[in-house]
Every structure is written in structure tokens, then in C-alpha cells.
Amino acid sequence: PFSVTGVDPTKGAKLNPLHSILKQFDEDDFIVIKLDVDTHSVEMPLAQELLEDEDGIYSKLVDQFYFEHHVHMKEISKYWKSSMEGSLKDSFDLFYGLRQKGIPSHFWP
């Protein structure tokens, strides 16, 4: 389903898409998550929740994860401006960790 609503990154919150949407599916469904909220304080807790995967359900459900991780990059700084936080190493560590958990993860741009 496609949804245009507010997002609450708090674990278990009604508007947390990982909680409210993903848990409606099962392993037979093909699930692609695109995370692009452009707000670090919303995006990172959601990405971290996927990484922590406390109950082991996300690694079973998520088939592909796409994330525009707004880290400091000189080449794109004029577009991202104040939304940048963290480094490319932080991004590589996040995606490596997700892939280690079995969640194919991709960065753009």
C-alpha cells in the first residue's frame, strides 16, 4: 500500500511504518521499503529499528531497502544543505549491518 501520512519513528507507534504497515504482511509478500523523509531525526530511528530487528521479523519480511542517507558529501551538499548528518563511513556501516542481517540495502543518489 502507498500512504501519505505523518511518520512517527517511535518503536510501536501507530504512525511508525515499520510497525503499522510491515507487520500486516508475511514472508510470501514482496516488500520494498524506500526511506526518504529528508529528516535525520525521523529517518535514522527507522533505519536503526530495521538494523536492530529485535523480534527478527524485518529480516524475514523486507526484500529490498532503499535509503537516501543524508550524510556529509561535498558533491551533493548544495542540495542537501542542513539535512546532512554523519559520514559515508556511517552509511557504509549501516548498509553493511543491514546486509549482514539479510536485508538487501541500497543507497542513493
CB 31 within 8 A of CB 25: yes
Q: What is the pLDDT of residue 102?
A: 94
Q: Which residues lie closer than 8 Å to 96 by C-beta, 6 or more apart? A: none
**Tens place of pLDDT per residue across the chain (109 aa):** 565 678 888 988 888 888 877 778 999 999 999 988 878 888 889 999 999 998 888 999 999 999 887 775 667 666 666 666 777 788 888 889 999 999 999 887 6
Q: What is the Cα–Cα distance from 39 to 68, expressed in whole angstroms?
A: 11
Helices (H), 21-69: 40-52, 58-61
Q: What is the pLDDT of residue 60?
A: 93
Q: Computed over its alpha carbons, how large is the radius of gyration of the chain? A: 14
